[in-house]
Structure 1
Amino acid sequence: MRAARPQSMTRRLILWLTGATTVFWLVAAGLGIAVMKEEFGEIFDASLQETAERLLPLVTEDMKRHGESVSAEERGGEYLVYQLRSADGSVLFRSKGAPAAPFAAPLKRGFSQDGDYRFYTVKTRDGSLFLQVADAWDNRDEATDEGGMALFLPVLLLIPVSSGLIWLIVRRMLAPIDAFRQAIEEKDGGNMAPLASKGLPGELEPIARSVNHLLARLQAAFDAEREFTANSAHELRTPIAGALAQTQMLMIGLEGPEKRRAEQIETSLVNLRHTTEKLLQLARAEAGIGVAGTRADLARVLELVLTDFQRGEMAVRIAYEREPGAVLEGAYSEDAFAIVLRNLIENALLHGQPGEPVSVRLQKGGIVRIVNAAPRLSPDELIAIRKRFGRGNAIARGSGLGLSIAERLLQQMHVRFDILSPATGRSDGLEVVMRF
């Protein structure tokens, strides 16, 4: 199952700030529209009342001039409509656009309303005539909607502008954190240079100092480990080589059972020398010798290592092929690459089918393939042989450290390392692929 990718703090911060700003803008616009609607209602009511009080004397005067005729009065606009009604509720005069049927409003002074209109009623001093001025709800809603859109549209434009500004500000403010993170990611066994603390925000300076103290301690530990490894290599190889030489000399003058016991001692010493070399190589790999800052021609190193193997007793089993134009250059450690090759080729010769060749190919694109004939391995067996001291079902002698040493060094060199079974284009075999 794939591990979930950790979420970016920058992305979450931008999303949260943008979301909060958007909500605040929308809430502010909504409150503004609500307040505006309330204020508009007060303004419309005041206008309705003032219109009714000013129209009453004019309409009564017209009635006296023209008589009680409903159709005599046709002036006025359609925004506000009115009816002049008698005390019994009949319509005496009405404005253009006013309905012929009496308004559904009581004949008493003040505001009233129904589903279609908001009314204001005034009456004459003698109470014989009532003027009812009506303002349609549709007119009020239209004015409120237009005012709301005038307030809401700028908010819709401000939201993306605010989001862009938030993105720029957050990225700029968090840039030192990102640079600091990248600087820490670059640290490994071969790069222990102190982190630059100049220009960092005050919150990051203590972290930078702590990391630099830790790097200094790690560098001292690595230096001590490298020195110990170098000294141990000499101190261990010399007595083992001496004991092996003395045993071989002793075997010259022995016969029978004594010679067989001496041969067993010789075999044990050879195995001890081999295991010691692997442990020393592992210690060097853990010390970070795979990191190098100088450019090297690894194809030359590959050919030198193969020449060394071809001088041995298994020379006939190694088949080397280099594609025309294939190169292998880069900022890599030659020493580490030589250790990797020796372990991988030695494993291929040791654990491959006896008598079957080991193919070493250098291809274009910086790809090195080492293939040997061997029974097909299951996925669990492929995982097992990559572990330290992992030997799988192998019956040949060995320490089980070769692949782990090679993989550790290749990780330091940032080289992709794959083990395939069966080999490419075959139904069996084991293939090691290094992609530089």
Structure 2
Amino acid sequence: MTQHRANRRSMTRRLILWLTGATTAFWLIAAGLGLSVMQEEFGEIFDGSLQETAERLVPLVLDDLRRREESASPRHIESESDEPGEEYLVYQVRGADGQILIRSHDAPAAPFDVPLKPGFSTSETYRFYTAKAPDGTIFVQVADAMANRDEAVTEGAMALFLPVLVLIPVSISLIWLIVRRALAPVDDLRRAIEEKDGGNMAPVPSRMLPRELQPIARSVNHLLTRLQAAFDAEREFTANSAHELRTPIAGALAQTQMLIAELDGPKRRRAQQVEASLTNLGHTAEKLLQLARAEAGIGAGSTNVDLARVLELVLTDFQRGDQAPSRLRFERQEGARLEGSYSEDAFAIVLRNLIENALLHGRAEEPVDIRLETGGVVRIVNGAAPLPPGELETIRKRFGRGNTGSPGSGLGLSIAERLLQQMNVRFDILSPATGRKDGFEVVMRFGELAA
């Protein structure tokens, strides 16, 4: 089941996901590499500033120490403002013995925990640079808090990654538009192929398709041409066979009936069996002729017709015949109408097949109800035992008869369903019937019709 669902995933969706994922990954990798280079460059800039500050402080400190008297406690160089402020860089001036001689305002009172050795050194909280006076007695140690560097790197990372977060949804939209536009011919070709069935074998338009899809369209059109030829040959053979069989079957049936009138005893019964076989053969030939007409696509109509009048005419024809006319009951709801652009001939064939099936396969002691309801709904209900599971699909197939002892060819339902498909009419088969525990019901829904 999982594999089946995976095979049905949209190619457009997969392309969008893969392209978006690849683009996002490239952006994140590029941003990560940029951040790494930025962090290295920031380190070099901060270290350069730290070294330059320490080296510039050495002559200033030496000059200040010469002009001032020795003090017993560490001093710091006074700033012009009396209000202390946060210093970006702090420093300590230490003697050769490690004692603090001068310190900046924010520098700690305790000596830095780094050796008095020129060069860079690092602790958990500071990055140091130590500069030494020419005589080696004075050391200037400038410290840069690691938090300052972390803050700079964090802000740089935000500057790199925040645009990526904005560009991802924009890229998804652009990729979606580009992919949909690029795959639009594929979708058009898919829809054109989906429309093909036994009644629509027109060639697939291929002139406007991209070069990559034109071989597919040509192959499909070649296959449609072969299928159309095969369907035409099948329909012509079926129609010609059924038509040519009607006359000799009718002649043989007439001769058999005359023979029955002249015979008696066992020979008469045998002649009657021949008559029944010829009658069934004639019925089958008639169904084959109807099937050929259904396959030819006679269900489509071009003018607005009143199908309710056709329904009443077909029922009148049945009531005048000899096929249990008293069992038919017709009910028409008040205001019910059945109008639209349909084929009257096709609808008459549908009704004849469905009513014949209801009379033939329904219980002989129960009536066959035909109802025309508002909303363009026609129901035909007959009494019968509920169909076992699976048999409903069997009887819908061509020549499918199900478990029945009644005569028939198994073509009635398939002919009716084929014609109703051409008329764009919904066709439902229910067993048991609506509101009953048994019975067989066919429902034709002609859609929203004038009430």
Matched, 1:294 2:302: yes
Q: So what's the TM-score if we normalise by structure 1?
A: 0.92
1:119-158 superposed matches below 5 A? 119-158=128-167
Contact map agreement 2:131 2:140 (CA 8 A) in 1:
yes
Q: How far does residue 332 in structure 1 lie from its aligned partner after superposition?
A: 4.4
Tell me, in whole angstroms, the C-alpha distance in 2 between the residues paired with 1:301 and 1:222.
30
Taking a change above 3 Å as real, the CA distance of residues 371 and 156 of structure 1, as seen in their structure-2 partners, is: same
Q: How far does residue 208 in structure 1 lie from its aligned partner after superposition?
A: 2.1
1:229-308 superposed matches below 5 A? 229-285=238-294, 287-289=295-297, 292=300, 294-295=302-303, 297=305, 298-308=307-317
Q: How far does residue 330 in structure 1 lie from its aligned partner after superposition?
A: 4.6
1:338-377 superposed matches below 5 A? 338-377=348-387
More deviation in 376-385 or 324-333? 324-333
Taking a change above 3 Å as real, the CA distance of residues 153 and 395 of structure 1, as seen in their structure-2 partners, is: same
Matched, 1:59 2:61: yes
Contact map agreement 1:296 1:334 (CA 8 A) in 2:
no
Q: How far does residue 340 in structure 1 lie from its aligned partner after superposition?
A: 2.6
1:317-328 superposed matches below 5 A? 317-328=327-338
Match of residue 216, structure 1, among 216, 225, 238: 225
Residue in 2 that maps onto 1:17: 19
Tell me, in whole angstroms, the C-alpha distance in 2 between the residues paired with 1:323 and 1:11.
50
* CA RMSD in angstroms, aligned pairs only: 2.4
Deviation per CA, 1:226-285: give whole Å up to 9, x if none. Answer: 322332122111111111010001111212222111111111111222233334444544
Q: Percent of counterpart pairs with the same letter?
A: 72
Contact map agreement 1:190 1:292 (CA 8 A) in 2:
no
Give SS of 1:121's match: strand
Which amino acid counterpart does residue 99 of structure 1 have in structure 2? Answer: P
Give SS of 2:390's match: helix
Taking a change above 3 Å as real, the CA distance of residues 229 and 433 of structure 1, as seen in their structure-2 partners, is: same
Taking a change above 3 Å as real, the CA distance of residues 194 and 392 of structure 1, as seen in their structure-2 partners, is: closer
More deviation in 22-31 or 408-417? 408-417
Contact map agreement 2:370 2:381 (CA 8 A) in 1:
yes
1:152-167 superposed matches below 5 A? 152-167=161-176
Deviation per CA, 1:197-234: give whole Å up to 9, x if none. Answer: 23221112222222222223333333333322332122
More deviation in 237-246 or 269-278? 269-278
Which amino acid counterpart does residue 376 of structure 1 have in structure 2? Answer: P
Tell me, in whole angstroms, the C-alpha distance in 1 between the residues paired with 2:167 and 2:263.
99
Which amino acid counterpart does residue 97 of structure 1 have in structure 2? Answer: D
Taking a change above 3 Å as real, the CA distance of residues 17 and 295 of structure 1, as seen in their structure-2 partners, is: farther
1:409-428 superposed matches below 5 A? 409-428=419-438
Residue in 2 that maps onto 1:434: 444
Residue in 2 that maps onto 1:50: 52
Contact map agreement 1:296 1:333 (CA 8 A) in 2:
no
Q: How far does residue 15 in structure 1 lie from its aligned partner after superposition?
A: 1.9
Residue in 1 that maps onto 2:95: 86
Match of residue 172, structure 1, among 162, 170, 181: 181
Taking a change above 3 Å as real, the CA distance of residues 123 and 77 of structure 1, as seen in their structure-2 partners, is: farther
Taking a change above 3 Å as real, the CA distance of residues 258 and 393 of structure 1, as seen in their structure-2 partners, is: same
Q: So what's the TM-score if we normalise by structure 2?
A: 0.89
Contact map agreement 2:239 2:292 (CA 8 A) in 1:
no
Give SS of 2:371's match: strand
Which amino acid counterpart does residue 73 of structure 1 have in structure 2? Answer: I
Contact map agreement 1:119 1:132 (CA 8 A) in 2:
yes
Give SS of 2:139's match: strand
Question: What residue ranges of structure 1 are gaps of 5+ in the alignment?
Answer: none
Contact map agreement 1:295 1:329 (CA 8 A) in 2:
no
Which amino acid counterpart does residue 391 of structure 2 have in structure 1? Answer: E
Tell me, in whole angstroms, the C-alpha distance in 2 between the residues paired with 1:295 and 1:14.
47
Q: How far does residue 25 in structure 1 lie from its aligned partner after superposition?
A: 1.7
Q: How many residues align?
A: 435
Question: What residue ranges of structure 2 are gaps of 5+ in the alignment?
Answer: 80-84, 447-451
Tell me, in whole angstroms, the C-alpha distance in 2 between the residues paired with 1:293 and 1:195.
24
More deviation in 153-162 or 258-267? 153-162
